[in-house]
Structure 1
């Protein structure tokens, strides 16, 4: 079971000998080095775009990719996550078709959205961690910075059972990725919220 990391509190720890508790762990000690595959079924990125009337909400789902933590650099990680445009969903088939079409994502030409980062700092449960990387979308690659928090971690008590759970946020301007269609009736700003789970392979 994931150990919840409540805002402003250190993660829970099991008692050691006597009544004393272990001190709050440093980021590196929270993570077991290894190759963590993204949980494709549980991970999603929700997007929200304001419009003159209402707005658009939807999800990027079914990602592939991994987070890799090496023993040599236990406080840093490499990240490579890819979302298929074809799996984008808003709950409305006509809106999905419009967004996947050539006025926006143009999924036929650019089928994948990718976030990649090298030497990224490991997130903590107490405060958001800024992770700088590159977002590739609609054939354009731009630098972005995610604000990420460690939501929970399953300790590596048995091989292959370690699980990491992250939440995060990011705001982008879609026009920077060549998707300015519909402005100013639909906002240029896109707000993204991330809920991601990774399993140590």
Structure 2
């Protein structure tokens, strides 16, 4: 008769390693805000909250990973004409490229903050970027993550060089994962 005792330590080790290194979570809420300077001042806008999966535990950031999307067609600035133009093929081309995507390849903790390095895809351009972020564990076990970073829109073929619109866009991304 075979005993199942050797399986118990393996199962226990699997459970403990998942607890120590984080577990796959879903982004349950958040926001995506941006601002870009133009000839008349600063244009503020939003996209819907990011969606996707995350693995994160502050005790083992090296085992963290992020795979998130932002729906490009949710672009809003409060000006319907501008929003329609930004969704056209001239800028985001949301019909052809419906999502802005980030997938991490490495996460590190540096000087009390975290950095997620990975591939950012906007339109049909993918570039390696490092996004700084902060993480706070909430009392309900969720994590609140926030990142502020800059993106050069021309690097991703979002519009063309234009004296009326600056090239660098500041993005403020927030997500709660559970």
State the number of aligned residues.
158
Question: In the alignment, which of 139, 144, 154 is matched to residue 138 of structure 2?
Answer: 154
CA RMSD, 1 decimal? 2.4
TM-score between both structures, scaled by the size of structure 2: 0.79
Match of 2:113 in 1: 128
- Name the CA distance, whole Å, in 2 between partners of 1:66 and 1:184: 38
Higher helix share: 2
- Look up the match of 1:59: 46
**Matching of residues 82-161 of structure 1 within 5 Å:** 82-121=69-108, 127-150=112-135, 152-154=136-138
State the distance in 1 between where 2:48 and 2:27 align.
Answer: 11
- Aligned partners of 2:146 and 2:49: how far apart in 1? 16
Unmatched runs of 5 consecutive residues or more in structure 2: 1-19
1:187 aligns with 2:170: no
TM-score by length of 1: 0.70
Runs of 4+, deviation exceeding 6 Å = none
* 1:123-155 superposed Cα distances (whole Å, 9 cap, x missing partner): 68x8332221111001110111111111x2135
Distance 1:119 1:37 in 2: 19
Higher gyration radius (CA): 2
- Unpaired segments of 5 or more residues in structure 1? 1-30, 156-160
Question: CA–CA distance in 2 between the matches of 1:94 and 1:136?
Answer: 25
How far is 1:75 from its partner?
4.1
- Hey, what does 1:33 align to over in structure 2? 22
Q: Taking structure 1 as reference, are residues 176 and 52 closer, same or farther at Cα in structure 2, changes over 3 Å only? A: same
- Give the secondary-structure state (helix, strand or coil) at the position aligned to 1:95: helix
